[in-house]
A and B are shown apart, each in its own frame.
Chain A
Amino acid sequence: SQQGEEDPQALSIQEGENATMNCSYKTSINNLQWYRQNSGRGLVHLILIRSNEREKHSGRLRVTLDTSKKSSSLLITASRAADTASYFCATLHYNTDKLIFGTGTRLQVFP
């Protein structure tokens, strides 16, 4: 399977703490994207990092990409209760141009 895997599967933290989620994948990619999904809703695009980039920031989000290790991480700083959601990485595969989603991390932020 080309599907990526995310770690941890679930994460519980207090408001104000940082949350780090990791994504590993198996094949060569063009880019890697992170999405958020609130319970029972669609996915919302957060950030895209190209295969030739190593780090990207957007507000409280920081994404890193290590293509040699085929891994990425998403850091949410100063988390808020409203950040409670599932977070998915998605990789755009080099050979097929298809966007394949990982298994997701369920983040719970307690007030």
Chain B
Amino acid sequence: DAMVIQNPRYQVTQFGKPVTLSCSQTLNHNVMYWYQQKSSQAPKLLFHYYDKDFNNEADTPDNFQSRRPNTSFCFLDIRSPGLGDAAMYLCATSRVWGRNNSPLHFGNGTRLTVT
């Protein structure tokens, strides 16, 4: 089945120690997104790629970076995780961007714990 896969499901890292979360998709969608979701809150968009075109949200901290080496894979790098970065990180894809009414397909997320 075509899907969005996130690895690992759970990640523990130490304060200040760089960590990378990965996402892959078999849907061949053009757009990939990273959302941050803290407990009982709405998912918050960090950035998205339209093909290779990177789009950062204005309020996404510089501590967060992303790479998309090809259509199928996208990575979230947190350079120096703080305690406030503990959250569920959700990867999503869509066939196109914006007003073409293309719904998002989400992975099951990676829950990041910072100790």
Q: Which residues of A contact B (CB under 8 A)?
A: 3, 30-31, 33, 35, 40-45, 48, 50, 88, 90, 92, 94, 97-104, 106
Contact = CB atoms under 8 A, between A and B. Distances in A.
Contacts of B99: 30-31, 92, 94, 97
A50 B103 CA distance: 12
Given A40-B111, A42-B106, A97 B42 contact: no
Contacts of A98: 45, 98
A88 B111 CA distance: 19
14 contacts: A3-B42, A33-B103, A33-B104, A40-B109, A41-B109, A42-B90, A42-B106, A43-B43, A94-B99, A97-B99, A99-B45, A101-B42, A104-B40, A104-B42
Interface string B78-115: 00000000001010100001110101111111010000
Interface of B: 4, 6, 35, 40-45, 88, 90, 92, 97-99, 101, 103-109, 111
A88 B98 contact: no
A7 to B, nearest CB: 14
Find the residue from A3, A42, A101, A102 having the highest chain B CB count within 10 A: A42
A40 B97 CA distance: 27
A94 B90 CA distance: 24
Nearest to A45: B103
A48 B104 contact: no
Given A92-B98, A104-B42, 13 more contacts: A31-B99, A33-B104, A41-B108, A41-B109, A42-B109, A43-B92, A43-B106, A45-B103, A97-B98, A98-B45, A98-B98, A102-B42, A104-B40
